[in-house]
């Protein structure tokens, strides 16, 4: 399998590179977590891999350890923020409302989250 080439206009790649500003809440060698610009809960941050894959499924195939790191990072940030619980969500594909095609984990907390979601 070949590694996808990121598009030149990927905003998350630009955040990773430091070319676009973001309110970073955590960074490691393999991931970056930052506040969502359009929060859907009082606490809403994204965790992205530094490497570019269009979605979580592609990331799982090519870099399963990076996928696991997204969840570890989500846990670490949640603990740092003292969250009692949180929801971790991947949107995969336009039909699921994915709008930035760079794998990213939404972490939402700070209010009662209903089930089923949206």
Residues forming the active site: 104
Alpha-carbon torsion, ordered 17, 57, 100, 106, to 10 deg: -90
What is the side-by-side order of every strand in the sheet holding 31-35? 24-27, 31-35, 43-49, 105-109, 87-89
Rounded to whole angstroms, the Cα distance separating 77 from 79 reads 5
Exposed, middle or buried, 15 (CB in 10 Å: 0-12/13-18/19+)?
Answer: buried
């Amino acid at each position: 399998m070949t590694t996808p080439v990121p598009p030149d206009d990927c905003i998350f790649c630009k955040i990773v590179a430091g070319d676009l500003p973001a309110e970073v809440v955590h960074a490691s060698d393999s991931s970056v977590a930052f506040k969502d610009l359009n929060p859907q809960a009082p606490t809403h941050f994204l965790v992205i891999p530094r490497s570019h894959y269009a979605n979580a499924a592609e990331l799982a195939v090519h870099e399963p350890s990076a996928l696991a790191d997204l969840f570890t990072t989500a846990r670490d940030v949640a603990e740092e923020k003292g969250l009692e619980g949180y929801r971790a969500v991947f949107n995969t594909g336009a039909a699921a409302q994915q709008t930035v095609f760079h794998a990213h984990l939404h972490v939402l907390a700070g209010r009662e989250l209903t089930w089923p979601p949206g």
